[in-house]
Amino acid sequence: MPTPNPAALDFLLTRRSRPAKTLAAPVPDRAALMRILTAAVRVPDHGKLEPWRLVVLERPALERLAGLAEARARTLGLDDEKTLKGRSQFEQSPLAVVVVSAPKASDKVPEVEQLLSAGAVCLGLLNAALADGWGACWLTGWVAHDATFAADAFGLRPGERVAGILHIGTETTPPPDRPRPDLGRVVEWVSA
């Protein structure tokens, strides 16, 4: 018989990301963040390739990246709304961790499995921060998908891409609940 962990299941059944704009200082110190990061990387990793890496962005780096995002948006000719969104993701964040998908050459583990492992790190990081009592949010946006910005901002190497940018801080406003998926629409049972 399995040994249930009701507290963990209750957490997963009620977890809720916090909107990034509602997060503020204080943030976890390095020791607390290392515990969160340690939990985050306990994910499926076929072949033990560690096909991801983490870039921690503290306030000075976030301030620099806010300006870099605005400059890149202007170069790309983005409208004011997209420019502001890219800038504010860094300007308003008290702390962020960039999860970089860094696939490794492998005959046994397809790249898609490695990318999914990086996505699992994102969710693990989000859940670990929330479980530790912090507010957290997983974002991407154009700043994560623009290869030039991502390379300059996060030091991406050839073949790497941003899987997610996780913002972590103290929750200032409780998030509103939102509708959850209707399992009747998304679950198919196959019995034979």
CATH number at residue 57: 3.40.109.10
Residues 117, 159: Cα–Cα separation, whole Å: 15
Whole-model pTM? 0.95
Q: Which residues are annotated as a binding site?
A: 15-17, 42, 46, 138-140
Residue type, 27: V
Please tell me the predicted confidence (pLDDT) of residue 177. Answer: 83
Residue type, 60: P
**CB-CB contact of 10 with 81 (8 Å):** no
Q: Which residues are annotated as a binding site for FMN?
A: 15-17, 42, 46, 138-140
In a domain, 120, yes or no: yes
Please tell me the predicted confidence (pLDDT) of residue 175. Answer: 81
In a domain, 76, yes or no: yes
Structurally, the chain folds into a number of domains equal to 1
The pLDDT profile of the chain, 192 residues, written as one tens digit per residue, is: 999 999 999 999 999 999 899 999 999 999 999 999 999 999 999 999 999 999 999 999 999 999 999 999 999 999 999 999 999 999 999 999 999 999 999 999 999 999 999 999 999 999 999 999 999 999 999 999 999 999 999 999 999 999 999 999 999 998 878 889 999 999 999 999
Please tell me the predicted confidence (pLDDT) of residue 127. Answer: 98
Q: Which domain holds residue 147?
A: 28-169
| Residue 102: Cβ within 10 Å count | 19
**CB-CB contact of 41 with 121 (8 Å):** yes
Residues 138, 183: Cα–Cα separation, whole Å: 23
In a domain, 13, yes or no: no
